[in-house]
Every structure is written in C-alpha cells, then in structure tokens.
Copies of this chain bind each other. A is one copy, B any other.
Amino acid sequence: MSVADRLTHVRREMANAGLDALFVPRADEYLGEYLPAHNERLRWLTGFTGSAGLLVLLPGRAVMFVDGRYTVQVRRELPPALFEYLHLHDDPPAQWLAAALEAGAVAGCDTRMHSLSWFEKTAAELGRAGIALTATSENLIDRCWTDRPRPPVVEVTLLPDEKTGESSAMKRARIARTVRELGADAALVFAPDSVSWLLNIRGGVMPQLPVVLGSGLLFENGDFTLFTDPDDLPGSFAGHVGEGVSVLPEQEAVTAFAALAGKSVLADPLTANAWSQLALAEAGATLIAGDDPVLLPKACKNSVELAGTRAAHLRDAVAEVRFLAWLDREVAAGRLHDEAVLAERLLGYRREVEDYHALSFDTISAAGPNAALCHYNHLNAGAAPLVMDSVYLVDSGGQYTDGTTDITRTVAIGDPGDEVRRLFTLVLKGHIALARARFPAGTTGTQLDALARQFLWREGFDFDHGTGHGVGVFLSVHEGPQRISKAPSAVALRPGMIVSNEPGYYRDGVFGMRCENLQVVRECDDAGETPMLEFETLSLVPFDRRLLLPELLERAELDWLNAYHARVRSALSPLLEQPERDWLDGATAVVCH
C-alpha cells in the first residue's frame, strides 16, 4: 500500500467515525522514547522515521508537526504532494487546528497515545474555538494497518537479588510507604522502566531499552497488579517477585480500576497516558497528580547496582579503547573510513564484551561537519567518510546485563588546527569543572549547569543542549528525574544518581565536538564543616590529548586530567593486548604546560 493509499484508508475511517480531524503522534501507549516496530504507526502512515512528530490529518490536508531536529528530514521522507510541514513549537498543533476548523467540528485521538496533560490542554484549546476533542473507541491506524507486525514474543528475564541489590518485595514495601505519605491508596506505575525496575525483570522487545512493556498499580500495602500479557511471563515469575503481585492482560486493566472506586490514585498527568487516568476517574477513583513514586528510588542506585555499573563501564571502555586505537592506525595508514564502517567496527568490539546485550542507543558516528548536528545519524544521511584535518565525533553506549554506558569522544583526524583545539579545550575545561564539583545536599542540576559552560560563555560560545541526563542500570540510557541543564529543576542530586557530563560545541557546517563521561553522585569522604556531595567518574576512556591547548588549562585542571588518565591506564592496561596497550600508554601520557 502506498502512503497515498494509507492516507485514503485512514480518512475513510475518520469519516465513518464522524471526525473532522485526527491526531497521530509518534508514540505508543507507553509514551516512551523507544517504540517496538509494531507500534510505529506514524512511520507506517507517513514514512517519517524521526523520533518525535505529530500528524494532524484532515479530510483534505495532512499537516506534519516536527521540531528543529527534523525539519530537513521530514521534507526528504514524506511525499511533498501529500503533506504540509509546520514547526511543533512555533506553531502549536492545537492552536493551528483551532483556527483551521469551524466551530462544531469534532477532532479525534487515541487517548492511549497521549498524556493526560496533553489531552486536557488540547481539549481546552479546541474547546475555546467550539471544537470537540473525542477519544476514538479504537485506534484508527490499527484498523487500516492490515500487515501490522505481530508483537514479538517477549523473553522476560528475572534478575536475581545479587544483580539488583534489593528484592521486589522490599522495593514495593519501601515505595508503598511514599504512596501512603502522599495520601493515596494506590499509584499508577506507568513507565515500563519503572515497572521493570520495581519487579526486577527485563524484556527483550526493544534491544536498546530492555524493559517489559507493561504498566501497573502499586497499592498502599505494597501489592502490585501488573498489566501485561501473562503468557509472556515464565513460570518462575510468581516466586521471583514474591507475594502480592498479580498479573492481568492489559485489556483487562479496567477491572482492576473498578476496584478503586472511592479510592485515591496517584498518577502523573505529564507522563502517564490519558486513557488510563480517564478510565480510573470513570471507575470512580480520585486522581492525585504527582510524580511516579518509582522514579526517585530507581534513580538512586544501591551499592549492588553501582558495582555492576562500574564493572560494565570497565568492560565497555576496553571496546571503546580498542576502537580508538584501531581508528588511529587506520587514519595513519591513510584509510579514511566512512561513518557506517566506523560505527560497525565499534559495534563489533562491543559485541565481544562479556554480558553485552545491545547498544543503548543508535551510535552517533559523525565526521567533519556532520558532527555539528547534535542528533546526527549516518543511517539517514548516507555515511560520509572521515575528513582529514578535522575531528570525528562518536557518541555511543552499550546495554550490559549489569549496567548501561554512554560515552562521547572527539578524535583528531590529522591536524584540525588551533581554533578546533581552543574550542575543545574550553569544552573539556567545562567537563572538568563539573567532574570536580562538590556541592551540598539539596543542590539541583540547574545550579551546576553553568560550571560546564562558564569557559565557553566567557569566549562568547555556548551549546544548545542539556549538560547531563540521568542513566539507568540495564535500563533506559535517558532517565529522570535528575538532569543538569539550564532549565529549572526542583530535583536535587542525590547519592547514587548517575548523570552524564557532556558539554559540547557545534559550529554549523564546519565541525562539532562533545566530551561525555557518565558520573555518579556520592558523598565526600573527607567531609568538611558542611557535608558535601561529589561525582565519581564511571567512564574510563582517554580524552584526545592531540586536541588540547595545554596553556589554557589551569594547574588543577591538568592535575584532574592526568589523574583521570592514570586511572584509565591502570584500570585498562591489564585488560588489553598489544598494540592497544601501547596506544593507551601514549593516549594517557602526562599533559603539562
């Protein structure tokens, strides 16, 4: 079926349902960053492969809303005769639709695919123009997508307590206390990574995000009802999670909701889908808007999770260093491979690592000017070859059964010149300032963000992305609630939280660079008058000394860099063979003025 035929088919369903417009988001019922193939409805309908977008379909128009990352890509992927394009933030879709339709019109959406917050705001915006927003009784795309892939069979892995450090029963009891303190009888645990962490299970549908797709209800007594296909669960599941856990197929969630009539249920309108909250309200439950109570406990890793993460980072660093050593040899031999070959080679080294599960995200392998695009993916662009006398940026990570990694290194290809070195040194100074920071309890990522930007700012430069995101343990490489960014955050950094430290710099059409390690918050040993927190760096890969202007580094910064490189050398050398070990010796040699 062509895209045109698909649009015709969906428009026919819209007419049957009495709809003047239909919202089709790039989302599924879990509202996460990753979608399994059978839930890529927007891609099926339009051909768009980006990670964020919203189609507003009218009988005679099809308007695709994307953000700045995808304004070029959307024009390449969608047939221009069939679609218009607008900017998701500059032209908010609800506002646009309110002007495009007449009063009395009816717009539809599948409330499983939108947050309650989106649904309420959109309904209010349309309502002011006399337009109704209704929930379709079923997904209209699914009615048309006749060859939709079947959901793959999930292989659910049960993680033993030795890997998680805390049994599901203990986690549930601990978090149920929070639910009670918030005055709720139950909490909707909506995100699959929250559910998977809470039950100490993992699943294999999406390799990069090893979660079991399902949501659930945590009751104030610690009992849990999991909404997922019971057939996917191994026989040992009941024994693994302990007493008080029941399983219902997702289609039967409403029967569990019915038991909550007259009770208070905590749910996050920003992250949980509208359908579940509307169904709870329909069943007579009172909704308490609040954060997913699993987020914070999941973010604060225990000592077992941290030990696993450290081990995973050590093994991952071996793959990364083997790749970087190989890359230098190839460039020295005049072989300027393309971005796809490089990404494949790095993947090959990771595949050799013990307990490797998958990449934690699509590798960003960007040569020369391509690195100036923060979200570059060579698969969408035709892989370009390395550019001599420039830099190569590689941002990648692995999912291991004991931890998740994410690291970016920027590599000199030939002699990139002193302007690139100056910028790299400013970026690295920011990275070091954040890595060395100490701060009292209660400090948020918003307060620390400027430490990583101050040197760029002083010279009139900045970078247009956050400085750090949270990272899970054999879970999502992007997790909350903590982050380090300009945006206001009320979430204090706490011991056990893993965050990335990734300042960068991007010169449009010329070059791009980023210095990224993962680091974990811990208490300072040598407590002063006020107890302080600090970061322990997890990633163990040298920064490219060839990109430094050492005279721009202060003594304390040089000391940090040399100590880090010495730590990298002593940790990795025993795990490497020649010639990588020699390469590492050179890459970690002392930098001085």
* Complex CA–CA separation, A530 to B464 (angstroms): 11
Q: In chain A, residues 439-488, which have Cβ atoms closer than 8 Å to a Cβ of chain B?
A: 439-440, 442-444, 446-451, 454, 457-462, 486, 488
Question: Is the pair B461, A529 in contact by a Cβ cutoff of 8 Å?
Answer: yes
Q: Which residues of B contact A333 (CB under 8 A)?
A: none
A486 CB to closest chain B CB, in angstroms?
Answer: 6
Question: Is the pair B526, A460 in contact by a Cβ cutoff of 8 Å?
Answer: yes
* Complex CA–CA separation, A354 to B554 (angstroms): 45
* Complex CA–CA separation, A524 to B447 (angstroms): 23
Q: Which residues of B contact A437 (CB under 8 A)?
A: 450, 454, 457-458
Q: Which residues of B contact A446 (CB under 8 A)?
A: 446-447, 488
Question: Is the pair B554, A462 in contact by a Cβ cutoff of 8 Å?
Answer: no
Question: Is A528's CB within 8 Å of the partner chain B?
Answer: yes
Q: Which residues of B contact A442 (CB under 8 A)?
A: 486
* Complex CA–CA separation, A440 to B449 (angstroms): 13
Q: Which residues of B contact A488 (CB under 8 A)?
A: 444, 446, 488, 490
Question: Is A337's CB within 8 Å of the partner chain B?
Answer: no
Interface string of A81-115 (1 = CB under 8 A from B): 00000000000000000000000000000000000
Number of copies: 2
Give the interface size bracket for A toward B.
35 or more
Determine the residue in chain B with the shortest Cβ distance to A554.
B554
Determine the residue in chain B with the shortest Cβ distance to A442.
B486
Determine the residue in chain B with the shortest Cβ distance to A447.
B450
Q: Which residues of B contact A447 (CB under 8 A)?
A: 446-447, 449-450, 486
Q: In chain A, residues 530-578, which have Cβ atoms closer than 8 Å to a Cβ of chain B?
A: 530-532, 554-555
A436 CB to closest chain B CB, in angstroms?
Answer: 7
* Complex CA–CA separation, A458 to B526 (angstroms): 10
Q: Which residues of B contact A451 (CB under 8 A)?
A: 450-451, 454
Q: When the two chains form the complex, which single residue of B436, B444, B454, B532 contacts A460, counting CB atoms closer than 8 Å?
A: B532
A309 CB to closest chain B CB, in angstroms?
Answer: 25
Of the A-B pairs whose beta carbons lie under 8 Å apart in the complex, a sample of 28, sorted by A's number, is A433-B454, A437-B457, A438-B457, A438-B460, A439-B450, A439-B457, A440-B457, A440-B462, A443-B486, A446-B446, A446-B488, A447-B449, A450-B450, A457-B532, A460-B524, A460-B526, A460-B527, A460-B528, A460-B529, A460-B531, A460-B532, A461-B528, A461-B530, A462-B530, A488-B488, A507-B529, A554-B554, A554-B555
Nearest 7 interchain pairs by C-beta: A460-B528, A462-B530, A438-B457, A447-B450, A438-B458, A488-B488, A439-B457
